[in-house]
Amino acid sequence: MLHYFLEQSKRFIMHISKSSLCIAASGIALALSLSACGDSSSSSTAASTDESSSSIEAGTPDAPAASSSSIAGTPGEQAPSGETPTKGDSFAEDTEAETLALDVSAPVEGCQTEPVAFGSGIKVTCGDEFLGNVMDDDDATPYDPAATYTDFVGIQKVFEGLKPNERVVFLLRHGDREHGTGSESLLTGLGKYQARSVGAKLKSDEAIFFGHSNYERTQQTAQNIAIGRGQSEFNHKTVAELSGGWYTKDSEKEAEYSKVEINGQYVLTMWAYDGTYADAYYDLSERSEELIGILKAKFMDMHRISVAISHDQLILPFLVYLTNKQIDLNYNANKSWLNFIAGVAMIVDGENVRFVPVKGLDSGLLN
């Protein structure tokens, strides 16, 4: 017990020290960003958590910064109070699929883009505020469909590598969102441009079906991916299990542990990687296999190509399981977190199933 207390005290002191340094550094970073006029390809700010279960506190001082594709981003999200699902439950029921007309020529309202000064990509400004850059993925590493991956592969490579007899669902985190917690937080202009850039990587003559959680930002992400593809129609539905909290068994215990560990990112990754705090969560293997069955039944059995938009608190543990804990998402160890519009491709060929971690932006990680 004494050892545990000392370890927690040490972590808290280190956390306070880091926060003080970050405050001092923020003033310097602000001055530099003003002089650079937002052209840096590595634009980031500290992030907060809001996509975890309902009881995890928002605003984590040590949360990972956004990647070059985002500056306003936050690594995790918090479900509305009292809505953490238990096994067999969800935030909302499935809705019937519906089709909406899209205007692919419509700009993102109030926003402008221009090429970045360095590298390849666009700088996004909404109103008078620079929100961040959407950088092109310059990873030239060839994609081998027969290989096993424990790192993120560009989504375009995986999409273009599909065989005619293969079915796929891309399970992805939503785009950059507004500050705030819960389902009311929408995509920022940056998040919409992120989604459109991903849609441009998924262009083909074949239709894509979209599923999403009941959070509006996940539907916005799916819709803007469709716009980026050049689709005039958006065929989509709410899928209950995508709404978050999938792995949480006891939200009160999760909240208690989150206070001990400063924030929920520590708790989630300590459980997923090390089995710590296991009484707050379902069994990782059993729950992940159940999710695989849901993805197959609700997407792959009916559509050849699907995109499912969910949240980091569902996708991160799923990736940890699928890669046998080899993927670099251990926030507790190195502050890595899942980037926006990153996730996993589930590819089925008859009875054969394989999984590939995918990134829609230039990186799969926020760190």
Residue in 52, 104, 25, 83 with CA at minimum distance from that of residue 257: 52
What pLDDT is attached to residue 262? Answer: 85
What pLDDT is attached to residue 96? Answer: 83
Q: Binning pLDDT at 50, 70 and 90, where does residue 186 land?
A: very high
Answer yes or no: is pLDDT of 50 > 60. no
Phi (first) and psi of residue 117, to 5 degrees: -75, -30
User: By percentage, how much of the chain surpasses pLDDT 90?
Assistant: 66
Distance (Å) of CA 1 to CA 5, 6, 12: 6, 9, 17
Q: Binning pLDDT at 50, 70 and 90, where does residue 92 land?
A: low
**In the predicted model, what is the mean pLDDT of residues 188-193?**
97
Residue bearing tokens 């971690």: 357
**In the predicted model, what is the mean pLDDT of residues 115-137?**
95
State whether the Cα torsion 358-363-366-367 is positive or negative.
positive
CB 253 within 8 A of CB 277: yes
Q: Binning pLDDT at 50, 70 and 90, where does residue 42 land?
A: very low
Q: What's the domain range around 337?
A: 37-366
Count of domains in the chain? 1
Q: Binning pLDDT at 50, 70 and 90, where does residue 57 land?
A: very low
What pLDDT is attached to residue 125? Answer: 97
Q: Determine, yes or no, domain membership for 22.
A: no
Least confident of 85-89, 142-146, 159-163, 303-307: 85-89
Answer yes or no: is pLDDT of 62 > 60. no
Question: Would you state the torsion angle of the CA atoms of residues 66, 131, 264, 286, taken in this order, to the nearest 10 degrees?
Answer: -70
Q: Binning pLDDT at 50, 70 and 90, where does residue 123 land?
A: very high
Pairing of strands 49-50, 129-135: unpaired
Q: What is the pLDDT of residues 313-341, one digit of tens each?
A: 999 999 999 999 999 999 999 999 999 99
Q: Determine, yes or no, domain membership for 2.
A: no
CB 247 within 8 A of CB 313: yes
What pLDDT is attached to residue 182? Answer: 78
Q: Determine, yes or no, domain membership for 11.
A: no
Answer yes or no: is pLDDT of 41 > 70. no
What pLDDT is attached to residue 66? Answer: 38
Answer yes or no: is pLDDT of 28 > 60. no
Angle between helices 189-201 and 216-229 (to 10 degrees): 50
What pLDDT is attached to residue 181? Answer: 59
3-state secondary structure of 8: helix
Answer yes or no: is pLDDT of 22 > 60. no
Q: Determine, yes or no, domain membership for 196.
A: yes
User: By percentage, how much of the chain surpasses pLDDT 70?
Assistant: 74
Please state, in angstroms and rounded to a whole number, the distance separating the CA atoms of residues 113 and 134. Answer: 10
**In the predicted model, what is the mean pLDDT of residues 245-253?**
94
Answer yes or no: is pLDDT of 56 > 90. no
H/E element holding 124?
A: strand 121-126
| 193 vs 42, higher pLDDT | 193
Locate 38 and state its tokens. Answer: 């937002």
Angle at CA 85, nearest 5°, toward 83 and 86? 140
Q: Determine, yes or no, domain membership for 24.
A: no
Assign residue 23 a region (left: φ > 0; alpha: ψ between -120 and 50; beta: otherwise).
alpha
What pLDDT is attached to residue 351? Answer: 87
264: domain CATH number is 3.40.50.1240
Chain centroid to CA 361: 11
What pLDDT is attached to residue 263? Answer: 87
| 17 vs 229, higher pLDDT | 229
Q: Determine, yes or no, domain membership for 15.
A: no
Least confident of 6-10, 174-178, 248-252, 304-308: 6-10
**In the predicted model, what is the mean pLDDT of residues 208-235?**
95
Q: Determine, yes or no, domain membership for 1.
A: no
Please state, in angstroms and rounded to a whole number, the distance separating the CA atoms of residues 203 and 224. Answer: 13
3-state secondary structure of 106: coil
Q: Determine, yes or no, domain membership for 23.
A: no
What pLDDT is attached to residue 122? Answer: 96
